[in-house]
Amino acid sequence: MEGQSNKGAAPERGKHKANHLPPPPGMGPTLEGYRVPKGEAFGAAGVLAGLCVVYGCVRGWIEDGNPFVWVSVWYLWLIIAIAFAYPLLFIRGKTTTCGSDWLMYNGKVWVNTYELNEIKVTKYAGGYHITLKDTSGRGMMLNLRTLQELPYLWNYVYLGIMHSVVYGGATANNEAIKRLQLPARIS
């Protein structure tokens, strides 16, 4: 219906898709994918640069009574440029893709989700990371929230994780058991 808000709804399937990317060698087709849109990278860059400018103004106002005293200091402009460039270099264009039994990050690192032998969830300042290692020695670490925000992609990954724990004997740390609601270890 027109005029109704879509707030809180799951993201559209296919939005920012990256499923045109090839699967890992010998694996099934790419079913779901996500590429960080350029707008998100530029938004993050603008926020970081803006915070640097605000910090400079507040500090100048407190120390000298002039919020723009920092403008003539060349190295502060360098810091602002680095703050703007960082998200553009490290966020833009990153992709996460998956098939029915695999997960790949940035077209290079991938794991077979049905042959995992280790699942770890670790806390960091901004949330949680998930580390997945498979029986072939491949491993990856991703932001857990990024995976869980993409419901179709997360469904494939979670089913593989659950299969690996229940039928494959994969080990999971306590945080993974708690956060992912995995079955507890039986000793």
Please list the pLDDT of the chain residue by residue as tens digits (187 residues): 444 444 444 445 555 555 567 889 999 998 888 877 666 667 777 787 888 888 888 888 888 888 888 888 788 788 888 877 776 676 666 788 899 999 998 888 999 999 999 999 999 877 899 999 999 999 999 989 888 888 889 999 999 999 999 999 999 999 999 999 998 765 4
Would you list the DSSP string of the chain? Answer: -TT---TTPPPPTTTT--TTSPPPTTS----EEEE--HHHHHHHHHHHHHHHHHHHHHHHHHHHS-TTGGGG-HHHHHHHHHHHHHHHHHTTT-EEEE-SSEEEETTTEEEEGGGEEEEEEEEETTEEEEEEEETTS-EEEEEHHHHHTSHHHHHHHHHHHHHHHHTT--EE-HHHHHHHTPPPP--
What pTM was computed for the model?
0.69
